[in-house]
Structure 1
Amino acid sequence: MRHDIEFNTEDGVILRGWFYRAKGVEGPAPTVIMAHGFTATREIFLGSFAEVFSAAGMNVIVYDHRNFGVSDGTPRQHVDPWAQINGYRDAITYAQTLPEVDAGRIGIWGSSYSGGHVLVVAALDRRVKCVVSQVPLTWGFESARRLIRGDHWAGLRAAFDGDRAARARGEPGAMMPVTAPEGQPCALPTADTYDFFTRFAAENETSWRNEVTLHSIEMFTEYEPATYIARIAPTPLMVVVASGDHLTPFDMTARAYAQALEPKRLVVLPGGHFEAYTGEPFAISAPAQRDWFSTHL
């Protein structure tokens, strides 16, 4: 069973999502807080993981980041990683006010861009007792340089500067597609990104929109969550990687994981970045994540 929830951030933005009640538990239960990756929204497969965790006796809070989906916030479709990090921390504060929640047993889960966020949150916030980071962004600048053709990089930097000047004049920030057919400008220029989002949008009712602020991409290039990973211990950390991932590449994630201290566990899945949400990789990963949370919460 799930029901709708909403809570306030420290700066007064309302975030909305779902609360899954722990099955078979009377009284306060451990709780996992979940949010999705770059421009995505709660309905894009997060419920599949939440149901696995709930069935194992954990509450789950799933919410949309500010500026996306059913949550408030402006500018719309703007990804500010530090505002999203603070959103996780606000979600923890909210969870600890609920009678169904054991305030001393809070875990966090993130995937892709939010997989990077939970590394930062777990390093900074000792209310977090366990963390799962799935196919995470680790180093933003290096990731961007791998994704963006070298002959396009100078032009993109000039576009960032022009957008900053336009916003300073009070003009709306520039927008660009999140994903597009091969060869067309977009934020995430991989074929599997285009296939994943467009197929999901065609087959499901979703609040996802194929646009993002150009400023979001500039902030992506400046975001380095892996620099926090050694500070997570002694909070238990699970990192889930996909062996064929070229959006958040395996080698970068493995390098970040090597810097983490114990207790930690690495789970390697077959396939690419987006296959982590469905099919055989999900069948491998979701039970492992459930057991990690169950053990440490």
Structure 2
Amino acid sequence: MHAYTVEPLYVKSGQEVLAADFYRPKTEHKPAVILMAHGLAGLRQFKLVQYAKQFAQAGYAVVLFDYRYWGGSTGRPRELVSISSQLDDWRTMIAHLQERKSIDSRRIILWGTALSGGYVLTLASELKNIQAVMVQVPMVDGSELGKLYPIPQLSKALKISSQDYMGGKVGMACKTLPVVSRDDLSFMPTEDSYSGYMSIVHPDYFWSGEIPARVFFNLIRYRPIQEVRKISIPVLFIAAKEDSLMPIASSREAATNIAPYVQYYEWEMKHFDIYHHPWFEKAISTQLEFLHQHIGVSS
């Protein structure tokens, strides 16, 4: 087990500055580095710190960052989710890691969960400077999100999304939708999503629970599953058999498309269970085994 330090890190991305935590294990050799960020509307403190600590103790450097508009990063409107901007933030952080002298920039691993799991699969299909990818309960096909809504609700969500997009063009205040809700229209409309998402929210950090509705239209069109055949690096893929947000059939199809580069697992859990005992411990054990197999730590 390695001792480690945690340092603040700030990286320019376009006109904004991304805030991150840099976990540096105390070792004589330059460590491999794991780049991490959260899924839809998540802050880096929403349960990801527990993963970063485990990886750092195992001897891997970790950079855990907030997207622009979120947490410690700059940008307005606050709590805006932009798929294109968030993918650019990943690319910016990867480019930054390639320049850092304190880590082994030839061994960069991307780690994603839910929406960010989709992001890192997209990036793995296009970039050549990544050594491996780990995803858990990834959002591989946004079109499945649209199928969760009855037609009247879907029409309402698309209308609000369009109004917010057009309003944003002329500087109007954002029209928002809840990330999760017990009763109202929300981005995650399934029965277990409210209690599941709220179980990962950290009460010490500001989080309104609502985001600008304009991203809805892009979310249901975002389909990493269409790109994953281009991946040719090791991928660890953990899916939830009882995932109400991403059908297990979509995860199986995505994994099949990544073969033979994928190590695929599906466990008898729901979407948010992987952040909690006992699934968290199982996920860490599986992820560390994958890392040791494909990356390794110099003693």
TM-score normalised by the chain length of structure 2 = 0.92
Deviations 1:174-209 (A, max 9, x none): 11211111x3111111233211333444x7412333
- 8 Å contact 1:41–1:207 — kept in the other structure? no
| Matching of residues 8-87 of structure 1 within 5 Å | 8-9=12-13, 11-23=14-26, 25-87=27-89
Matched, 1:91 2:58: no
Distance, in Å, in 2 between the alignment partners of 1:68 and 1:105 is 27
Q: 2:104 is paired with a residue of what secondary structure?
A: strand
Distance, in Å, in 2 between the alignment partners of 1:12 and 1:164 is 21
Q: Post-superposition shift, 1:130?
A: 0.3
Q: Which residue of 2 aligns with 1:258?
A: 256
Q: Which residue of 2 aligns with 1:205?
A: 204
- 8 Å contact 2:196–2:272 — kept in the other structure? yes
Matched, 1:148 2:149: yes
| Matching of residues 60-209 of structure 1 within 5 Å | 60-145=62-147, 147-181=148-182, 183-201=183-201, 204-209=203-208
Q: Quickly say closer, same or farther: Cα 1:153–1:118, change in 2 above 3 A.
A: same
Deviations 1:63-101 (A, max 9, x none): 111111111122211111121111111111112222221
Q: 1:15 is paired with a residue of what secondary structure?
A: strand
Q: Post-superposition shift, 1:217?
A: 1.3
Q: How many pairs are equivalent?
A: 291
Q: Which amino acid aligns with 1:50?
A: A
Deviations 1:109-139 (A, max 9, x none): 0000000000011111111100011101111
Q: 1:265 is paired with a residue of what secondary structure?
A: strand
Q: 1:102 is paired with a residue of what secondary structure?
A: coil
TM-score normalised by the chain length of structure 1 = 0.92
Q: Post-superposition shift, 1:155?
A: 2.6
Identity of aligned residues (%): 25
Distance, in Å, in 2 between the alignment partners of 1:60 and 1:265 is 22
- 8 Å contact 1:14–1:71 — kept in the other structure? yes
Q: Quickly say closer, same or farther: Cα 1:211–1:141, change in 2 above 3 A.
A: same
Which runs of 5 or more structure 2 residues have no equivalent in the other structure? Answer: none
- 8 Å contact 2:200–2:275 — kept in the other structure? no
* RMSD value, Cα: 1.6
Q: 2:246 is paired with a residue of what secondary structure?
A: coil
Deviations 1:12-64 (A, max 9, x none): 310001111124x2131100000000001101111111112112211000011
Q: Which residue of 2 aligns with 1:238?
A: 236
